[in-house]
Amino acid sequence: MDINMGNGGIGVPVVRRDAMAKVLGVAQYAADFPHENTAYAALTLSKVARGRISRLDTAAAEAVAGVRMVLTHRSLNESLGDETFVMKGGHMQSSFLPLTSDEIHYAGQIVSLTIADTLEAAEEAARLVAIDYAREAASASMDDAGLTEEPADSGIDVGDAEAAFAAAEVKVDATYVTPAQHHNPIELYAASAAWQDGKLLINLPSQWVMGTRAGLAKVFGIPIEDVHVESPYVGGAFGAKASILPHVVLVAMAARRLGRPVKLVVPREAGFTVGSFRPAARSRVRLAATRQGKLTAVMHDEVGQSAVIDHVAFAGMEATSKMYASPNIRMRAATVATDVNSPGFMRAPAEAPSFFGFESAMDELAVALGIDPVELRIMNEPARDPVSGLPWSSRLLVECYRRGAALFGWSDRNPKPGSMVAADGTLIGYGCATATYPSAMAPSSARVRLSADGSCVVYCAAHDVGTGAYTVLGQVAADVLGVPDELVTVEMGHSRHPSGPVSGGSITTGSAGSAVHMAARAVRERLFATVAAGQDRSKMTLADRHVVLPDGSRRAISDIIGGLPGGVIEEHADWKPTDMDDKTMQQGLAGGMAFAGPVGGTHVSFSFGAQFAEVRIDPLLRTIRVARMVGVFACGRIINPRTARSNLMGGMIWGASSALLEESQIDRARGRFANTDLASYHFAANADVGEVVVEMLDEHDSVVNAIGTKAVGEVGIVGMPAAIANAVYHATGVRVRKTPILMEDLL
Ligand code: MOS
């Protein structure tokens, strides 16, 4: 791709607007914001997983020079506004706020927050907080004995899947297991809070400044306008920063009580329990088909790890039920409550675990049928959503498979397991799997200002979590206004901006981008109306900082806007998804979670991808390497092929990581996560990843929104673990039904 700094607009691989600031170190992350006279906070965490605090002595901690406050359940003693768990319509990452009782619900729970003039004093004091526990038995693993499965209220039923399965000629029935995982964004969780005249200013890494503002206003019982949330740069998020983590509330409370700004940076190890995580899951998949390979029954039973303190369910049935044409579909979900911190959103929360099982089972069916796994999927492509019967807003999955197979060289594959061997004896395996992700949308506002010199500013309280949102939102405005990209500035990540959506569910470009598009078009309309009242505006265009009139004559933007009072044209827009009513839109714009789709009134909208992997396995040691990955995706219109490709590539690498490396191991005797650092929590580094090829099909979706973009971020991870597991089977003949797949699984 050529580097293009000159021309903005949609479809151009513009380099990242924030790149230089990040590379030069001038981009300010949450913990970098200086508040005058800041005090520093440190955490003390529970060493037991369940029970009560039986003795608490803070005298030694309070005696450390420079210590200003030791906040515990005894000293906190303050009633807070009634704000709820994010998955119950609130904004908190957990229903449980530490320091509000002597109860211990999970290992690593915050049991004190120590504040001092220096970080060193705070950390020393945190170590000196003396606590004894009345310990009770705890289960941090959903596999512990005595735990029960709680079925979900609803499932999905089409036809009679049980009967069709019982009568089928060819069938697969297998169970697949995925572990708990932790996000581990490179930027640690942090919060820096300052109060002034009863108003709260808080800096934290956030995927949702508007929701954080609304939630904190409720917690502290103050008007929403009196909370300011600032998060211009986020060093990775992946869902962990989409809701208010409990420590944020505690830091703001401490700052208010102390009458002084307080800053906390959560250390890496503490992040495993102070933040959230992807819960463990188990999928039983039953597939039945005719000898010719037509699916006759698709059944998926998912069990997910939940928490005693919060019910969390991430079944992937909404996506798996839509993958293949089958007259009989049955999907069920259940949860198992465990003694852990509340699980939360983590990149494709439902789809990533459920597709590992589902797409592994499709491969097992292909083997049972003796049909090529790519062809099996194409044979069962549904013309419409098999559940609702609605048409797709767009679905180019077959095209993704055809193109991906060609790019990968799938036709070179000998289907017999263990048959492809390199000259040195290395076993070679090829595998494939389908990826999908719902294309939901949320309401968003935006403001666009065009000045006489052609410069343009876009304002939106959306977020760039490292994905390129600064760049693509500017491109949308540049495209409408015909200005070069270097004249566009984008301001995001502050609650003073026009409302933006949560940066989750891969919705930012489609949602905030649609609002920017709407505001930019309003600016353009005013420009047209100003330059030539009474002329046919539909025949006017904007290019190169000029308005081109119907007769072909050109008028410079500088002349038009220069003559206006204020010397600018500025427009605000409130955008909502097609199927959303005004009330829901207003709730969303006020910081509530308001999603529309992926199933709308007239269409069903998902992004799709076909993913391929080549693994190389040492015949003796059984070490597994991913030599190549190919992903071909159809995600609607791509605003910026450079940033979209990076998102998808990142997802694929994370998928490889998930397949072979990632697992939050649970010390079941002590009921806690055991590998809470980046030395023992393994994930893919450069040497773990070979060639990665990403291609995006030119897809036009006229239904999903005015700019035609569907979800890009999360779809990249979804099919990769199964594609790699299927490749491992192809290389070795060993079917591994759990991740991570380790060398010992192949012995
Ligand atoms: Mo992502 S898990 O939708 O923040």
Ligand 1, closest atom to CA 349?
2
211 pocket-lining for ligand 1 (C-beta < 6 Å): no
Ligand 1, closest atom to CA 240?
4
For tokens 């005595």, name the residue.
146
349 pocket-lining for ligand 1 (C-beta < 6 Å): yes
Q: Is residue 287 part of a domain?
A: no
For tokens 């797409």, name the residue.
359
Q: What is the CA radius of gyration of the chain?
A: 27
709 pocket-lining for ligand 1 (C-beta < 6 Å): no
Phi and psi of 674, rounded to 5°? -100, -35
CA 243 to centroid of ligand 1, rounded, Å: 10
205 pocket-lining for ligand 1 (C-beta < 6 Å): no
Residues 226 and 199: beta-carbon distance below 8 Å: yes
Q: Is residue 306 part of a domain?
A: no
Domain count along the chain = 3
508 pocket-lining for ligand 1 (C-beta < 6 Å): no
ipTM of the complex: 0.97
Ligand 1, closest atom to CA 347?
2
pLDDT digits (tens, 9 = 90+) for 593-651: 999 999 999 999 999 999 999 999 999 999 999 999 999 999 999 999 999 999 999 99
Identify whether residues 565 and 480 lie together within a single domain.
yes
708 pocket-lining for ligand 1 (C-beta < 6 Å): no
Reply yes or no: is the peptide bond before residue 179 cis, omega within 30 of 0: no
Identify whether residues 490 and 608 lie together within a single domain.
no
CA 444 to centroid of ligand 1, rounded, Å: 17
**Reduced DSSP (H G I as helix, E B as strand, rest coil) percent helix, strand, coil of the chain, to 5:** 30, 25, 45
Return d(Cα 479, Cα 541) in angstroms, integer.
11
Final residue in a domain of this structure, among 567, 589, 611: 589
183 pocket-lining for ligand 1 (C-beta < 6 Å): no
Return d(Cα 307, Cα 309) in angstroms, integer.
5
CA 344 to centroid of ligand 1, rounded, Å: 9
CA 240 to centroid of ligand 1, rounded, Å: 8
Q: Which residues of the chain have pLDDT under 50?
A: 1-6
Identify whether residues 605 and 737 lie together within a single domain.
yes
pLDDT value for 2: 36
Ligand 1, closest atom to CA 207?
4
pLDDT value for 536: 86
pTM given for the model: 0.97
CA 64 to centroid of ligand 1, rounded, Å: 41
Identify whether residues 249 and 119 lie together within a single domain.
yes
CA 679 to centroid of ligand 1, rounded, Å: 25
Residues 108 and 672: beta-carbon distance below 8 Å: yes
- The preferred substitution site among 243, 345, 595 for testing ligand 1, maximizing ligand atoms within 8 Å of CB, is 345
164 pocket-lining for ligand 1 (C-beta < 6 Å): no
CA 500 to centroid of ligand 1, rounded, Å: 15
Q: Which candidate, 273, 265, 276, places its Cα nearest to that of 123?
A: 265
Residues 236 and 185: beta-carbon distance below 8 Å: yes
Return d(Cα 613, Cα 627) in angstroms, integer.
8
345 pocket-lining for ligand 1 (C-beta < 6 Å): yes
Distances (CA, A) of 467 to 8, 151, 350, 471, 644: 18, 36, 21, 9, 8
Strands of 190-196's sheet, edge to edge?
A: 67-71, 110-116, 39-45, 262-265, 190-196, 199-203, 227-230
Final residue in a domain of this structure, among 589, 620, 635: 589
Identify whether residues 74 and 61 lie together within a single domain.
yes
CA 346 to centroid of ligand 1, rounded, Å: 5
Final residue in a domain of this structure, among 250, 265, 280: 265
Residues 50 and 136: beta-carbon distance below 8 Å: yes
Q: How far is CA 458 from the centre of its chain?
A: 24
pLDDT value for 220: 97
pLDDT digits (tens, 9 = 90+) for 726-746: 999 999 999 999 999 999 999
Q: Is residue 157 part of a domain?
A: no
Residues 14 and 79: beta-carbon distance below 8 Å: no
Instruction: Classify 11 as helix, strand or coil.
Output: coil
713 pocket-lining for ligand 1 (C-beta < 6 Å): no
Ligand 1, closest atom to CA 506?
3
Q: Is residue 388 part of a domain?
A: yes
- The preferred substitution site among 91, 181, 238, 717 for testing ligand 1, maximizing ligand atoms within 8 Å of CB, is 238
> Six-digit token pair at 744?
């010992």
Q: Is residue 320 part of a domain?
A: no
Kindly state the DSSP code that residue 342 receives in the 8-state scheme.
Answer: P
CA 347 to centroid of ligand 1, rounded, Å: 5
737 pocket-lining for ligand 1 (C-beta < 6 Å): no
> Six-digit token pair at 133?
């526990």
Characterise 48 by phi-psi region: left (phi > 0), alpha (psi -120 to 50), beta (else). beta
343 pocket-lining for ligand 1 (C-beta < 6 Å): no
Identify whether residues 366 and 490 lie together within a single domain.
no
Identify whether residues 475 and 569 lie together within a single domain.
yes
241 pocket-lining for ligand 1 (C-beta < 6 Å): no
CA dihedral in degrees (383, 388, 389, 391; nearest 10)? Answer: -60
Return d(Cα 413, Cα 410) in angstroms, integer.
6
pLDDT value for 90: 96
CA 236 to centroid of ligand 1, rounded, Å: 11
Identify whether residues 573 and 625 lie together within a single domain.
no
- The preferred substitution site among 714, 715, 717 for testing ligand 1, maximizing ligand atoms within 8 Å of CB, is 714
Q: Is residue 357 part of a domain?
A: yes
Catalytic residue list: 714
Report the CATH number that the domain containing residue 95 is assigned in CATH: 3.90.1170.50
Report the CATH number that the domain containing residue 388 is assigned in CATH: 3.30.365.10
Phi and psi of 23, rounded to 5°? -65, -35
Kindly state the DSSP code that residue 630 receives in the 8-state scheme.
Answer: E
Return d(Cα 624, Cα 724) in angstroms, integer.
10
Identify whether residues 721 and 708 lie together within a single domain.
yes
**AA identity, residue 691:** E
Return d(Cα 417, Cα 647) in angstroms, integer.
32
Reply yes or no: is the peptide bond before residue 382 cis, omega within 30 of 0: no
Q: Is residue 165 part of a domain?
A: no
Q: Is residue 160 part of a domain?
A: no
594 pocket-lining for ligand 1 (C-beta < 6 Å): no
Alpha helices in 380-507 (DSSP H): 397-408, 469-481
Residue 228: strand pairing partners: 201
Ligand 1, closest atom to CA 502?
4
Residue 282: strand pairing partners: 177, 303
Write out the DSSP string of 17-29.
TTHHHHHTT-SPP
277 pocket-lining for ligand 1 (C-beta < 6 Å): no
Identify whether residues 114 and 226 lie together within a single domain.
yes
> Six-digit token pair at 576?
């909502």
> Six-digit token pair at 317?
């049935």
Identify whether residues 706 and 610 lie together within a single domain.
yes
Instruction: Classify 744 as helix, strand or coil.
Output: helix
Please list, in sequence order, all residues whose beta carbon lies within 8 angstroms of the beta carbon of residue 707, skipping any fewer than 6 positions away.
Answer: 10, 476, 509, 510, 513, 514, 517, 637, 639
pLDDT value for 8: 66
pLDDT value for 7: 53
**AA identity, residue 386:** P
User: Whose CA is closest to atom 4 on ligand 1?
Assistant: 239
CA angle 165–171–177, rounded 5-degree value? 100
**AA identity, residue 587:** Q
Identify whether residues 464 and 480 lie together within a single domain.
yes
Domain membership of residue 251 as a residue range: 33-138+190-265
- The preferred substitution site among 86, 182, 347 for testing ligand 1, maximizing ligand atoms within 8 Å of CB, is 347
Please list, in sequence order, all residues whose beta carbon lies within 8 angstroms of the beta carbon of residue 333, skipping any fewer than 6 positions away.
Answer: 151, 152, 155, 301, 302, 303, 304, 313, 315, 317
